Structure 1
Amino acid sequence: MERQRSFSFKPTRLMLFSFTIFSSFLFLSTFTIWLSKSTSSLHHHHTPLHFNSSSSSDGDTVGDNFQSLTGFTQNFTVTAVRIPTLIDNRLARTQKSLSGFKSEASGHHADAATAAANATLNFTSMQDSGTSPGERFSEEQKKVEAASLFEKTQVPVLNKAEKETVKGCDLANGYWVFDESYPLYARDSCPFIDEGFDCEGNGRLDRNYSKWRWQPRECDLPRFNATKMLEMIRGKRLVFVGDSINRNQWESMLCMLFGAVKDPKRVYEARGRKITKEKGNYSFRFLDYQCTVEYYVSHFLVHESKARVGQKRRPTLRIDAIDHGSSRWRGADILVFNTAHWWSHHKTQAGVYYYQEGNLVHPRLNVSTAMRKALTTWASWVDKRINPRKTQVFFRSSAPSHFRGGNWNSGGHCTEATHPLNETLSSTYPEKNIIIEEIVKLMKTPVTLLNITNLSEYRIDGHPSIYGRKTQSSKIQDCSHWCLPGVPDTWNELLYSHLQSR
């Protein structure tokens, strides 16, 4: 009988067999992991580089390869900045949610490439310093909260590519942004600011009122460039005509332009006059540019006269006759008109034996009717006397006053205001502006309206108040005019924008 074979292994054979199986498994696992990593790396770095061997020419092949390489570079850039971009987006959302006006960094005009580079550098710096994203976010949030004093509404932040050009943008629709790069000039550097607008020189200590920049919602307002502006008016006459609010804007323009002049002695008033409230006609020459920047006072744009009423001669307003100084306006290359402030005074509001047409002095006439007649007289003069091929005509809308607790002569005040308002005080559009717009639509001569009313409504902090004179003993405050530097600088930025677009 044959002996049955045993299926058991000897200890030596069992050990050898187990070692062989284990080694094979280890080698196979290691090879699989290496192959997987190599394939993934190869796919990540080389997949975008497709060489099209079936191209019709060598030039096409090179072009396709270059596009593939460009795609790879773009993909790599997006990956590199993804994390800092997420952090910055989160910061942007937090900034928009804060109450009050929107506050942005002064470098908001940087292009996309610079922004991406800065985001990468910021993130790298954060890693090197050991600061976590949460800690950095907390610090940035505190900075944003400190800088953003006010915000009116939730405003979508538009990229440069998404924003419209200024020509098709509503410049009057926007919000104020606190910007440390403002004002556009220092008060000490401008010798043209008269006492009534020199708030800093009259003792106002806070400076924030001069650091707000107007930001339209749908576009960027070009920052004023004094050198470019002087080149635009080289050999020309820039003329402001109107009341003391227009003198406010004219002085602002002088200060803004003066910063680009190398030799201050080459800017002077033609008759050697010093700017004061008493004299109303000035012409400053910029010799290096052979241009003049002029101002002519005309409260109503029509003739202020006198007429006999009963036994007395009384002051009247000839609403059918243009201001007698109009001959000085003719020949200007750029004309900036305004009237509104004086139409609110008691005498014009009452209209009792004040408005005159021909020899007729109206016993009583509604102020809106009188203003419409006066502006029709002005429009007729412009259409007859101004050559639109030579002269660009602008009309600035009314500037708001911010008297609280009374009128200018009855205890009205704005002293406590140090920041812009959260919302405008007036919910209705001024009737004066409506009249102006209706008259302009009927004119043959093109007239550009500078709508500054809404943006100025927020700026209760921008008035001289008690700082309109060196001594603050008087109880009368000035909540109608504006400190310089200040809000009128923005009006001139709007003017500059319109001139650039042409």
Structure 2
Amino acid sequence: MEKYLPNIIQNLNFKSKLALQISIIPLILFILITLQSSNNLSFKRLYSSLHTNHHDNVSKTSSKKCDIFMGEWVQNMDAPYYTNDTCETIHEYQNCMKHGRPDTEFMKWRWKPYGCELPVFNSTRFLEMVRGKSMAFVGDSLARNHMQSLVCLLSQVERPLDNSTTQDENFKRWYYPSYNFTLAMIWSPFLVKAQENDPNGKPGKITFAGLYLDEVDETWAAQIDGLDHLIISAGHWFFRLLILYEKRHIMGCRYCWTTNITEQSVSYGYRNAFKTAFRAILERENFKGKVYLRTFSPPHYEGGDWYNGGYCLRKKPYKSNEINFEGQNLEMYKAQLEVFEEAQILAQKRGLKFGLMNITQTMLTRPDGHPSKYGHWENVNGTRPNDCIHWCLPGPIDSWNDILLEMLKE
């Protein structure tokens, strides 16, 4: 049929040709819109397609099931539940009110799933549920950000003892004596073995990091035996200059265009790092706890990136239909889900529980909750780059603990 079309069109008179063109225009527009929509998937469509058979992240409410990770932000005038005055453990980088942030509306929202309620965090309920247990956050500064939010929320009931064995803020250990509960932060931004090519370089100097994608970082892996709850996450460090190794041989890199090494996508190293991390957990015979993967938390830079003037000054959340899920955010998220679902099958065979704390859409719609210029981190020139990665405390990240408490009930 296709080979006859040109001749048919050629033999049409002018009016017929014009009519044909007019009738084709809507079809062309429809195709273009459809293609554009497929390239810029809404989170809801993407989520549905990826989770057709996935039920671990569904929380039961009454007699029906409710997916607590699909919803909208709604106003909550009762928040915040702590301040930078009542919680002294807020890291300087996230202490937005101390450093002059003038608006407060970003603190007065809560996550509302479609079709059910997600209860606001109850400190007493949480501590009762973890009585006599231990929990560790493993990852980068966003894992630390999450843990500090939890410490601040729990301070409504009890202030913990600092049982850390080091002064390094990346390796904190808090103890709640009334509940015999230990909470820890273990720093591992790549989850796998990493080596700076210039560990003694000047502050602020960008250096390559070598990642051994098939070798776990024993800094955290050797500490998880006996843990009851392990919350693992990583993400933003994978956007650095990276040399990627497998079996101790260079097999690729990230952002090294001037070398003769194969350039890999950002999700390549990310996917393989999580594969190694999950394999390490599954191979530890003495680990019997529950693992939670917290999914990628998207940044919200506008007008540039962190190093060239990007900013995030919005003052309210997006609606879910106001923002598309695309680009590297989508790439990172899909890589995590694929690896998680593979690991979850293996975990079930070993009798372990793997839970998915799927906060990506929740945070994709919160461009207003970052420190921006109201963090305290300075570079070598004394200026303050805008931080559109971490989250103000108090702020949207407190909802991660609403979700965590709900997942502990399962």
What's the TM-score bracket when you normalise by the shorter of the two chains?
0.7 to 0.9
- Counterpart position of 2:162: 269
Partner letter of residue 258 of structure 1?
A: S
Q: Higher helix fraction: Structure 1 or Structure 2?
A: 1
Q: CA deviation at 1:369?
A: 2.4
Please, what TM-score do these two structures have when normalized by structure 2?
Answer: 0.73
Distance in 1, matches of 2:132 and 2:153, equals 18
- Pair 413,224 (structure 1): closer, same or farther in 2 beyond 3 Å: same
- Counterpart position of 2:138: 241
- Residue 385 of structure 1: which of 284, 305, 330 is its match? 284
- Counterpart position of 1:181: 78
Q: CA deviation at 1:471?
A: 8.3
- Counterpart position of 1:97: none
Percent same amino acid among aligned pairs? 33
Correspondences of 1:208-247 after superposition (within 5 Å):
208-247=105-144
Retained in 2: the 8 A contact 1:408–1:477?
yes
Distance in 2, matches of 1:212 and 1:185, equals 14
- Residue 358 of structure 2: which of 417, 431, 451 is its match? 451
- Pair 165,364 (structure 1): closer, same or farther in 2 beyond 3 Å: farther
Distance in 1, matches of 2:109 and 2:166, equals 32
- Counterpart position of 1:355: 244
Correspondences of 1:67-78 after superposition (within 5 Å):
none
Retained in 1: the 8 A contact 2:378–2:384?
no
Report whether the alignment pairs 1:491 with 2:385.
no
Spell out, residue by residue over 1:18-72, the C-alpha distance to the aligned partner (whole angstroms, 9 max, x if none): xxxxxxxxxxxxxxxxxxxxxxxxxxxxxxxxxxxxxxxxxxxxxxxxxxxxxxx
- Pair 179,314 (structure 1): closer, same or farther in 2 beyond 3 Å: closer
Distance in 2, matches of 1:167 and 1:228, equals 23
- Pair 199,273 (structure 1): closer, same or farther in 2 beyond 3 Å: farther
Distance in 2, matches of 1:191 and 1:471, equals 21
Retained in 2: the 8 A contact 1:421–1:458?
yes
Correspondences of 1:90-169 after superposition (within 5 Å):
164-165=61-62, 168-169=65-66
- Residue 468 of structure 1: which of 375, 395, 405 is its match? 375
Q: CA deviation at 1:307?
A: 7.5
Structure 2: stretches of 5+ with no match in the other structure: 1-59, 199-206, 252-260, 348-352
- Counterpart position of 1:12: none
Correspondences of 1:421-460 after superposition (within 5 Å):
421-422=318-319, 423-428=321-326, 430-443=330-343, 444-445=346-347, 446-460=353-367
- Counterpart position of 1:339: 234
Name the stretch that deviates more: 455-464 or 427-436: 427-436
Spell out, residue by residue over 1:391-410, the C-alpha distance to the aligned partner (whole angstroms, 9 max, x if none): 11100011111101100001
Retained in 1: the 8 A contact 2:212–2:248?
no
Report whether the alignment pairs 1:370 with 2:269.
yes
- Pair 371,471 (structure 1): closer, same or farther in 2 beyond 3 Å: closer
- Counterpart position of 1:413: 311
Distance in 1, matches of 2:61 and 2:171, equals 39
Provide the aligned C-alpha RMSD in A. Answer: 2.5
Distance in 2, matches of 1:227 and 1:496, equals 11
Q: Which has the higher contact order (CA 8 A, sep 6+)?
A: 2
Correspondences of 1:59-74 after superposition (within 5 Å):
none
Q: CA deviation at 1:190?
A: 0.7
Distance in 1, matches of 2:285 and 2:94, equals 32
Partner letter of residue 284 of structure 2?
A: R
- Pair 435,315 (structure 1): closer, same or farther in 2 beyond 3 Å: closer
- Counterpart position of 1:15: none
- Pair 470,384 (structure 1): closer, same or farther in 2 beyond 3 Å: closer
Correspondences of 1:299-318 after superposition (within 5 Å):
299-305=189-195, 315-318=209-212
Q: Secondary structure at the match of 1:252?
A: helix
Spell out, residue by residue over 1:312-334, the C-alpha distance to the aligned partner (whole angstroms, 9 max, x if none): x9741110111121212222100
- Pair 181,285 (structure 1): closer, same or farther in 2 beyond 3 Å: same
Please, what TM-score do these two structures have when normalized by structure 1?
Answer: 0.60
- Counterpart position of 1:126: none
Q: Secondary structure at the match of 1:188?
A: coil
- Pair 316,495 (structure 1): closer, same or farther in 2 beyond 3 Å: same
Q: Secondary structure at the match of 1:230?
A: helix
Spell out, residue by residue over 1:330-387, the C-alpha distance to the aligned partner (whole angstroms, 9 max, x if none): 2210000001111223x14xxxxx1112331223351322222222111111111166
Q: Secondary structure at the match of 1:467?
A: coil
Retained in 1: the 8 A contact 2:377–2:384?
no
- Counterpart position of 1:398: 296
- Counterpart position of 2:3: none
Spell out, residue by residue over 1:68-121, the C-alpha distance to the aligned partner (whole angstroms, 9 max, x if none): xxxxxxxxxxxxxxxxxxxxxxxxxxxxxxxxxxxxxxxxxxxxxxxxxxxxxx
- Pair 324,194 (structure 1): closer, same or farther in 2 beyond 3 Å: same
- Residue 328 of structure 1: which of 223, 228, 240 is its match? 223
- Counterpart position of 2:154: 257
Partner letter of residue 375 of structure 1?
A: F
Size of the aligned set, in residue pairs, is 320
Q: CA deviation at 1:171?
A: 1.1
Q: Secondary structure at the match of 1:486?
A: coil
Distance in 2, matches of 1:176 and 1:386, equals 41
- Counterpart position of 2:188: 298
- Counterpart position of 2:38: none
Retained in 1: the 8 A contact 2:75–2:109?
yes
Distance in 1, matches of 2:126 and 2:120, equals 11
Spell out, residue by residue over 1:257-289, the C-alpha distance to the aligned partner (whole angstroms, 9 max, x if none): 11112xx4xx22113766xxx641110011111
Q: CA deviation at 1:306?
A: 5.7
Distance in 2, matches of 1:283 and 1:302, equals 22
Distance in 1, matches of 2:285 and 2:360, equals 26
Distance in 2, matches of 1:480 and 1:314, equals 21
Retained in 1: the 8 A contact 2:213–2:276?
yes
- Counterpart position of 1:287: 177
- Pair 441,271 (structure 1): closer, same or farther in 2 beyond 3 Å: closer
Partner letter of residue 218 of structure 2?
A: H
Q: Secondary structure at the match of 1:468?
A: coil
